[in-house]
Amino acid sequence: MPDVLVTKTIEELVREITVDQIVSPTIPVDISVGEAGQLHQYVSEDKPELLAKGLSEDLIKQLIPGAKFLQNKQSEWTAVYQSALSNTQEWEAKIEEGRLLQRELKNDFQFAYRKHPAILKKLDQILDGSGNMDLIQDLSDYPVFAQQHPEPLEAILLDTAKTERAKQVSLELTDLMNKVDGVKNSKNRPEKLMRDRAYTYLKQLVDEIRAYGKYAFWDNEEKQQRYSSEYLRKGRERNEKKQVEE
């Protein structure tokens, strides 16, 4: 449990959580925030008994600020995650568009240059390869190739909008690829780390206060339940019931 000093801001206290202390949420963040609020209500009612057992009042004062800070950091991380997820979905849709366009252009170009073996041989260099990187390069190469050898394509009345679109899709895929690569490393995003730090800090507060509550009211079953996680308790009860039924 980090030192809790009223002279420090909640963010300063949270930032004191070291990397090796950080834990990822084991229960939903909104549940953690809600249970911290409920715990504060219980502690307010039992404050004299808890302080008499040595619980620091500074810990109690940090409960609500800690819960609100976690709530804010969860919102920031959710916004980043949703944006990243949107980029991934956009990438998948754009890849599908690119593959369809690649197949169409391959068919057009092979037919257009079927009677031009020398040009067709050069075309094979574009057609060779597979994978997303190759797709992006192919879509970039087709428009250039069309400019270098236009007559056969003009003969089959190829819609030039196709090659123009291929160039655009190639550029869009390159941009999205950089964003998607960032998504793959999203666990290391500062917003995620700060959310986890905030969760860890609140968890340490809650665990410490609950420990004092269980100690102070060791012979009071009702209050013992007050100082435990209702979410985890109900989860255990469901599991026990399921095992009995099986």
pLDDT digits (tens, 9 = 90+) for 3-23: 455 578 999 999 999 999 999
State yes or no: pLDDT of 185 exceeds 60.
no
State yes or no: pLDDT of 2 exceeds 70.
no
State yes or no: pLDDT of 245 exceeds 70.
no
pTM: 0.64
* pLDDT tens column, 24-76: 898 899 999 999 999 999 999 999 999 999 999 999 999 999 999 999 999 99
What share of the chain has pLDDT > 90, as a percent?
65
Ranges of beta strands (E only) in the chain are none
Using pLDDT thresholds of 50, 70 and 90, give the confidence band for residue 1: low
Inter-axis angle of helices 132-148 and 117-127, nearest 10: 150
Q: How far apart are CA 227 and CA 15, in angstroms?
A: 27
Per-residue burial over 18-30, b if 16 or more Cβ lie within 10 Å, else e, is eeeebeeeeeebe
State yes or no: pLDDT of 182 exceeds 80.
no
Inter-axis angle of helices 132-148 and 57-112, nearest 10: 40
What share of the chain has pLDDT > 70, as a percent?
90
How many Å from the N-terminal Cα to the C-terminal Cα in the chain? 41
